[in-house]
Structure 1
Amino acid sequence: MTLGRFVQRVLIGFVAVVVVVGLWTARDTLLYGFAAAVLAVGISIPAGWLRRVGLPRGWAIAISALGMGVVAVALLLLVLPRLLSGLGDLVGGLPAAIGGLSDVYADLRTQGEFWYEALPPLDGTAELSTERAQALLRRVVEGSLAVAPVVLGGVSTLVAALVHLGIVIFVSLFFITDPRTYVRGSLYLFPERAHARVVFLWNELYSTVRTWITALSLSIAITTTLVWVVLGLILGMPGALVVAVFAGIATFIPNIGSILPVVPIVVFALASGDPSRVFLYVAAYLAIQLLESNVLTPSIVKSQLAIPAGVVLLFQLVVTLAFGALGLLLAVPLLACLIVLVRELYSYDLLGLRTLQIELSKTDDGRLVLHETDALPDDPPPVEARPAAAVPEAAS
């Protein structure tokens, strides 16, 4: 190896390390940009509907963005005050609620010999007298003074999150106003022979994010409807509509979000003065979530994005460690876009596997058998066949 060749490889390795370190340092900013792009795609969907009924492009984007903001604020105003009111009622009636739970526990022990033997009796220390309630309240007040710095830190974190949300919304409006400018700029980074391929990738990424938004919307609608019908109309739980909306919004977080609505369910059930129905409400919700999380939503996501649930869960853990809460929220669309890029650039372009169909079967003794067949080539469409933009509805 010549000295010039050695120096060239060293420089290439150094540049690669610098690029990787720079991307890692700017990972939060890049994730905010991705969130803005996802939001822009979400705004483009209703904007495209308005364009098709004859509204001008600018008005369609403005009405779509304003409508989504109004819906978000309305949902926040619906859920938050009712949840805080339920928490206030719960704190006010906490001794009675705990006493009611003790009565429910005692009644359960009398339902049969099995329960009588399986559940230990409550001793006198479990009763909440007035003196003990006052002592507990005094300890809570003293503890709240000790955690005041933590609360103030949480307030600053909330303010920072709102600032970041404003930045994301602001950038997304730039993206959706003139997306073709950014697509056109990306073409200058590649040779002319690759321009059609780059435009095709932009369209694939846009289609993938749009498909995820559609699947997520269906999942939210199904969850909200089921929770409201079962808990509210059938079981008569107080605050069922708020819990249903909260459960629908929590669906935005795959896997983990399904557990969050248990908190408002317990709050509203205990605050209603009938703690014996807590177990019924929680059991009914878990049954709904079992159906929605394991049957309905996986079927929708798998049919739309073809991403195994196990891969999504592992990727969630990775991006949460790397990016925090925002990474958890955007794990699914980020994974779907990475799959598109790896498939198109690595599997198809570099390895040449575009025409290869891979199937696996399993023998009786559990061994896998590989079946590979050549299919008809699936060449990407020309540039004119699809809009050359990441947000075609709003940009056309």
Structure 2
Amino acid sequence: MSLPVAVPVPPAETPPTANFAYRTVTAAAIVLAMVLLVVIFTAAASAFFLIFGSLLLAAIFCGLGRLLQRTGLPRWAAMLTVFLVTLALIIVPVLWGGLAVVQQFSQLLSGVRDQANTLLKSLADLGLPVSPDTTANDLESMLPNPSGLVSSAGKAVFSALGGLGNFFVLLFLAIFIAWQPGLYRDGLVSLFPKEKRARIADVLEQSAHSLIMWVAGDAISMAMIFSISWVGLWAIGMDNAFLLALQAGLLAFIPTLGPFVAGVVIVLAGLAQGVDMALWALGVYVVIQGVESNVAQPVAQRFTSALPPALTLSVQIIFGLLFGLLGFVLAVPFVAVLVTLVRELYVVDVLGGPVESAE
């Protein structure tokens, strides 16, 4: 007598409505999480950018420390040297003529604003659609108040103390991170599953390396712009040549728009000495732009891959509108890190790699 054969029962099919409901809930949860993340980031943007600024400064400290380690110094001695030199570069200029520099910068801003107002009134007299009164008020709101830089009024003092406090918070956060970068990296990596930790650690290392290389390339460009600007402005006899060259070098940190703003300030400062000096200043600015485009940028790009100009400008505009000056300044290094993370964790790991360009 044969035993009955058990016939396997096919698994019950999930109703299409259940699959649709699951996908809908998942998509809604993802969208809600993204919206919540954007809201939190927007509400606490100043804190996020302060933390990112400390990461950027920590990357600079680590890069300088690695250079000193090549001379044979142990890591602790190299990092301690970097910290002490940084503090000295902050304290010594303040103690030695810091107030005089602030007063000179105050006078420079006053002259630039006056020349801008005069130029706008001249354009309005020529019949161009420029409202001198409205534009002058706009310039008043955009440019710093020179009297506020040296004023002892309570509002100016509290504002200065607030900015000074943020600066030292950023500085000491950067020191703590640069002193023990592995502690924070390992803590972040520990949040991921074990099979993903090696890859996450490698991507974080690549992101830190990209940030260090971007800073190194930008620092070379800034130094070259400052040196050439100082020599050129001194050669034509421009007043406040050092301060104008310094602002040109610092604004070179902001790609695309920074050099343009520096050039406008230089030309307006030249107008204070006459039209001839303004034309000479314009010539120096053209030379500076030529050196930046043909020498500084190619040298800087040897350290890091260049970001697409359209992406750079778009992100600067968006971050500037949403988060103000701090967002505008830190937009490009933030995107440089974000591009590395997206490329490695999504394009490579999820999609299998980028599209190979035919060009």
Q: Same fold (TM over 0.5)?
A: yes
Instruction: Provide the rounded CA distance (Å) in 2 between the counterparts of 1:240 and 1:7.
Output: 63
The answer to whether the 8 Å contact 2:221/2:297 transfers is: no
Change (3 A) 1:7 1:353: closer
The answer to whether the 8 Å contact 1:27/1:323 transfers is: yes
Instruction: Provide the rounded CA distance (Å) in 2 between the counterparts of 1:238 and 1:6.
Output: 67
SS in 1 for 2:314: helix
Question: Partner residue of 1:218?
Answer: 220
Give, in angstroms, the shift of residue 36 of structure 1.
0.6
1:331 aligns with 2:331: yes
Question: Partner residue of 1:184?
Answer: 186
More displaced, 157-166 or 318-327?
A: 157-166
Give, in angstroms, the shift of residue 263 of structure 1.
3.3
Give, in angstroms, the shift of residue 193 of structure 1.
1.1
Q: How does 1:60-209 map to 2 (within 5 A)?
A: 60-72=78-90, 81-82=100-101, 84-85=103-104, 156-209=158-211
Give, in angstroms, the shift of residue 72 of structure 1.
4.5
CA deviations on 1:265-285 (whole Å, 9 max, x unpaired) are 654773xxx535422342123
Taking only the aligned residue pairs, the percentage that are identical comes to 24
Give, in angstroms, the shift of residue 325 of structure 1.
1.3
The answer to whether the 8 Å contact 1:239/1:268 transfers is: no
CA deviations on 1:82-122 (whole Å, 9 max, x unpaired) are 46347659989xx9x9xxx9xxx9xxxxxxxxxxxxx98xx
Give, in angstroms, the shift of residue 300 of structure 1.
4.0
For residue 325 of structure 1, what is the amino acid of its counterpart?
L
**How big is the alpha-carbon RMSD for the aligned residues of Structure 1 and Structure 2?**
3.9
Instruction: Provide the rounded CA distance (Å) in 1 between the counterparts of 2:211 and 2:29.
Output: 34
For residue 54 of structure 1, what is the amino acid of its counterpart?
G
Instruction: Provide the rounded CA distance (Å) in 1 between the counterparts of 2:244 and 2:159.
Output: 26
Q: How does 1:1-396 map to 2 (within 5 A)?
A: 1-2=17-18, 5=22, 9=26, 12-13=29-30, 14-15=32-33, 17-72=35-90, 81-82=100-101, 84-85=103-104, 156-232=158-234, 234-258=235-259, 259-260=261-262, 262-263=264-265, 266-267=268-269, 270=272, 274-303=273-302, 304-353=304-353, 357-360=356-359
Of the two structures, which has the highest relative contact order with CA contacts closer than 8 Å and spacing of 6 or more?
A: 1
Change (3 A) 1:293 1:255: farther
SS in 1 for 2:356: strand
For residue 310 of structure 1, what is the amino acid of its counterpart?
A
Give, in angstroms, the shift of residue 298 of structure 1.
3.9
For residue 329 of structure 1, what is the amino acid of its counterpart?
V
For residue 200 of structure 2, what is the amino acid of its counterpart?
V
More displaced, 338-347 or 301-310?
A: 301-310
SS in 2 for 1:189: coil
Instruction: Provide the rounded CA distance (Å) in 2 between the counterparts of 1:73 and 1:269.
Output: 34
More displaced, 16-25 or 306-315?
A: 16-25
Change (3 A) 1:15 1:239: closer
CA deviations on 1:156-194 (whole Å, 9 max, x unpaired) are 444322221111111111111111111111122211111
Instruction: Provide the rounded CA distance (Å) in 1 between the counterparts of 2:174 and 2:267.
Output: 35
**When the two structures are superposed, what TM-score results if normalisation uses the length of structure 2?**
0.72
The answer to whether the 8 Å contact 2:189/2:200 transfers is: yes
CA deviations on 1:176-229 (whole Å, 9 max, x unpaired) are 111111111112221111111111111111111111111111111111121122
The answer to whether the 8 Å contact 2:189/2:197 transfers is: yes
Instruction: Provide the rounded CA distance (Å) in 2 between the counterparts of 1:212 and 1:5.
Output: 43
The answer to whether the 8 Å contact 2:105/2:243 transfers is: no
Give, in angstroms, the shift of residue 8 of structure 1.
6.2
For residue 33 of structure 1, what is the amino acid of its counterpart?
I
More displaced, 14-23 or 338-347?
A: 14-23
Question: Partner residue of 1:391?
Answer: none
**When the two structures are superposed, what TM-score results if normalisation uses the length of structure 1?**
0.66
The answer to whether the 8 Å contact 1:41/1:209 transfers is: yes
Unaligned residue ranges in structure 1 (runs of 5+): 106-118, 121-143, 146-150, 361-396
For residue 311 of structure 2, what is the amino acid of its counterpart?
V
The answer to whether the 8 Å contact 1:46/1:64 transfers is: yes
Question: Partner residue of 1:128?
Answer: none
CA deviations on 1:143-163 (whole Å, 9 max, x unpaired) are x99xxxxx9756544432222
SS in 2 for 1:306: coil
The answer to whether the 8 Å contact 2:54/2:173 transfers is: yes
Change (3 A) 1:86 1:322: closer
The answer to whether the 8 Å contact 1:42/1:210 transfers is: yes
Unaligned residue ranges in structure 2 (runs of 5+): 1-16, 127-145, 148-152
Instruction: Provide the rounded CA distance (Å) in 1 between the counterparts of 2:108 and 2:241.
Output: 16
For residue 288 of structure 1, what is the amino acid of its counterpart?
V
The answer to whether the 8 Å contact 1:243/1:261 transfers is: no
CA deviations on 1:301-331 (whole Å, 9 max, x unpaired) are 5552221222211111111122221111212
Change (3 A) 1:89 1:183: closer
Give, in angstroms, the shift of residue 287 of structure 1.
0.9
